[in-house]
Amino acid sequence: MELKTKRTLEIVLVVLGGIIDTFIILWKTILTPGLIYVRDSYPPIIQPKPSFVSNGMINLITLMDNPDMPLLLFQYFFPSCVNDKLSYIYPIFLGFISMYFSSKYFLKVKYREVIAGIIAFLYTISPAFMYFTYWNDYATFVALYPALLAGLDYVSKSPGVKSALLLAMLASLTTTDPRGFSFTVLTVLAYALYSSIRRDLKFLKTFAIAIPVYIALNIRTFIALFLQQRVYTGLGNSIEVVQLWLNYCTFSFEDNLRGLGIFRPLINLFPNPLFYVYSFFLPLFTILGFVFFVEKLRKTSIPFYLALYILIVVVESSTIDLFNHQFTLNLVYYINDWLKNTPFFTYMWIFLPTYVTEMIPALLFLTFAGVVNEVLSVRIRLAVAKLLPIFLLILVILGQVVYSYSSYSSGNYEGNYTPIPVIKPVYEIA
């Protein structure tokens, strides 16, 4: 009973922490009346109530966004201005909860709950998280992707039917828009390949059981994709012409290392030259720490996370600056040049580099959690030397907080989430 009470209390505190975290980031947005107008969204005031069928066609987006179902239901009960704010508050809250439990899973040290809370906070205030939750269509994928990654590690260590059900459910939560669905499937398939290399046959059996369960949970998605394949083929062709080549030629290695894509977050990343230096504290600490503790981390899925992180960073990078010289990579450009003459090119809009890098923040921060656990687990005899790992960790955390300052300091993402008041006559007419 005591353990059950402790877990209940922890859940309550984490939910409260998620609410406080969200308020810290968007307090000005939450307290300001009006509607938020951002790229790729229409004013909710003129939108009809959500419908699963429109003009004889199945609404694919409505059907696919599994974690957004509560928001769809809220639209029937709350006014437009409330629903509008909830759509931006929701992914931040989910991101905090998801990263808290995912990072805590890899932490075995004392006060791991506090450390997990700090990592979850760093995750949600990071410019990369801000950028990828700016568009509602795939915000919840970014928020819940850490849970899928941690779930893969858990399932590999606890194989069986229950784990297969858990894996299918976690994969369903990150099956959001077509990109979220694709990235979820590719991540699980990549992990299955990783498990086969490690000769982990138990996970492969669990994975095989999870497949039919996942299909059953998401059957509406596959039906919708089948019925509307012509619509999305046309959409893909139009996007390729405008965006695809631009995306594939303009990423730098340094930006990708921090999880930033072609269109850097719409905030002032470096108000001070030192901010640029601070921005590398966490990724460099994570990579070097992994190299130092690689033998211990091999027992976990951390090597898979780091390998996928490095692979995405390298493949998506156009240039890299080393020793005052700029070297050209553009590896994905050559891949795209080959694919343009194949049937797969029509579907390349799903894998635009801007969106592939959605996976980077979660991979980086979970690897960071694994490294932090090992750093704090080091046994040092000298009392003074014991403080060195803690001092280094505090330095990295402070560096990330300073680098992310622009994301949370204004309370509205530097004016990007500024609600515009709607006068009563206009509201009534709408």
Q: Which amino acid is at 154?
A: Y
Joined tokens for residue 423: 């006068």
- Mean pLDDT across 336-354: 75
Helix 178-197 × helix 161-173 angle, to 10°:
140
pLDDT (0 to 100) of residue 381: 62
DSSP-derived letter for residue 32 is S
pLDDT over 80 (residue 301): yes
Strand partners, 331: none
Domain assignment of residue 43, yes or no: yes
Domain that holds residue 268: 2-422
In a domain, 302, yes or no: yes
**Confidence category of residue 250, pLDDT binned at 50, 70, 90:** low
In a domain, 429, yes or no: no
Residue 55 CB neighbour total at 10 angstroms: 6
Residue 232 has pLDDT above 70, yes or no: no
> How many structural domains is the chain composed of?
1
Band of residue 146 on the pLDDT scale cut at 50, 70, 90: very high
Q: What span, in angstroms and rounded, lies between the C-alpha atoms of 87 and 31?
A: 15
* Pairs from 296-304 (Cβ < 8 Å, separation ≥ 24): 296/374, 297/370, 297/371, 297/374, 300/106, 300/153, 300/370, 301/149, 301/152, 301/153, 301/156, 301/191, 301/194, 302/106, 302/366, 302/367, 302/370, 302/371, 304/152, 304/190, 304/191, 304/194
Is residue 387 situated within a structural domain? yes
* pLDDT at residue number 131: 85
Indicate if the pLDDT at residue 234 is higher than 70.
Answer: no
Q: What is the pLDDT of residue 59?
A: 56
Domain contains 360: yes
Interatomic CA distance for residues 188 and 165, integer angstroms: 14
Q: Report how far residue 430's alpha carbon sits from residue 44's, in angstroms, rounded to the nearest whole number.
A: 10
The closest alpha carbon to 122, from 26, 21, 272, belongs to: 21
Per-residue model confidence as pLDDT tens digits over 20-62: 999 999 999 999 988 887 766 655 555 555 555 555 455 555 5
Let me know if residue 284 belongs to a domain.
yes
Q: What is the pTM of this model?
A: 0.90
Residue 191 CB burial class (10 angstroms; 0-12, 13-18, ≥19) = buried
* CA 74 vs CA 84, 381, 422: distances in Å: 10, 56, 20
The answer to whether residue 200 scores a pLDDT higher than 90 is no
Query: Three-state DSSP class for 321?
Result: strand
* Residue 317 within any structural domain of the chain: yes
In this structure, is residue 208 part of a structural domain?
Answer: yes
